[in-house]
Chain A
Amino acid sequence: QVQLQESGPGLVKPSQTLSLTCTVSGGSISSGGYYWSWIRQHPGKGLEWIGYIYYSGSTYYNPSLKSRVTISVDTSKNQFSLKLSSVTAADTAVYYCARDGDTVPAYFDYWGQGTLVTVSS
């Protein structure tokens, strides 16, 4: 059973960089065939896809966040990470990591439990 777990600071100051890590267990990122995504949900709102990474390191970012987002992968630790720079209060959200399955069409079949990140001084 694949499991994903987000970790990182729950409080980030405005203008700083939000950094989160997703640790994958029960499956290997480097086995290929899957894309690994970050998705966020503003309080009481809908879902926003941030971007994904493949085990090879290739990425795609949502153009709405592209200038501030970096997603990276560490296959040796079976982790992938999100960095979001120059954060403001509008970046306060629950951040989820998820696996984009190997089917066509793709869908998010496994999710982390989510972690709330608050941007505040």
Chain B
Amino acid sequence: DIQMTQSPSSLSASVGDRVTITCRASQSISNYLNWYQQKPGKAPKVLIYAASSLQSGVPTRFSGSGSGTDFTLTISSLQPEDFATYYCQQSYSTPYTFGQGTKLEIK
């Protein structure tokens, strides 16, 4: 299985901050990397697919980059509704695997 490791596991930030979350794969996965946002009691919602493609309807303050084994999710200016948990997920090979999550909290 491909292991996905996110850092940090938790992060405190303020509204307006620029935030970056990283995800590392245990082997090269090309650009087969997706990012999801999950709020308490809700299903995850896709933000970014194929490492850098913005899902329709997702605000442009979200962006993704990377290829191979190292990826980043950046939120350019945090909004109150962005405080949530973020997961990366690889779809390069089955079984699909997720990172352990990054909880973004209000400072």
Interface residues on chain A, number (Cβ under 8 Å): 24
Q: Per DSSP, are chain B's interface residues mostly helix, strand or loop, or mixed?
A: loop
Q: How far is the CA of A114 from the CA of B40 in the complex (A)?
A: 12
| Residues on B with beta carbons closer than 8 Å to the beta carbon of A48 | 98
Q: Contact at B95–A107, with CB atoms within 8 Å?
A: no
| Residues on B with beta carbons closer than 8 Å to the beta carbon of A113 | 42-43
Q: How far is the CA of A28 from the CA of B92 in the complex (A)?
A: 26
Q: Contact at A46–B43, with CB atoms within 8 Å?
A: no
Fill in one digit per residue for A34-61: 1 if any B CB lies within 8 Å of its CB, else 0. Answer: 0001000000001111010000000010
Chain B contact patch, size range: 20 to 34
Q: How far is the CA of A46 from the CA of B86 in the complex (A)?
A: 10
Fill in one digit per residue for A93-110: 1 if any B CB lies within 8 Å of its CB, else 0. Answer: 000101011010111110
Q: What would 14 A/B residue contacts be, using CB atoms closer than 8 Å? A: A46-B99, A46-B101, A47-B98, A49-B96, A60-B95, A62-B95, A64-B95, A105-B50, A107-B91, A108-B44, A111-B45, A113-B43, A114-B42, A114-B43
Residues of A in contact with B (beta carbons under 8 Å apart): 37, 46-49, 51, 60, 62-64, 96, 98, 100-101, 103, 105-109, 111-114
Known: A37-B96, A49-B98, A111-B43. 5 other contacts (CB 8 A): A51-B95, A103-B50, A108-B89, A114-B42, A114-B43
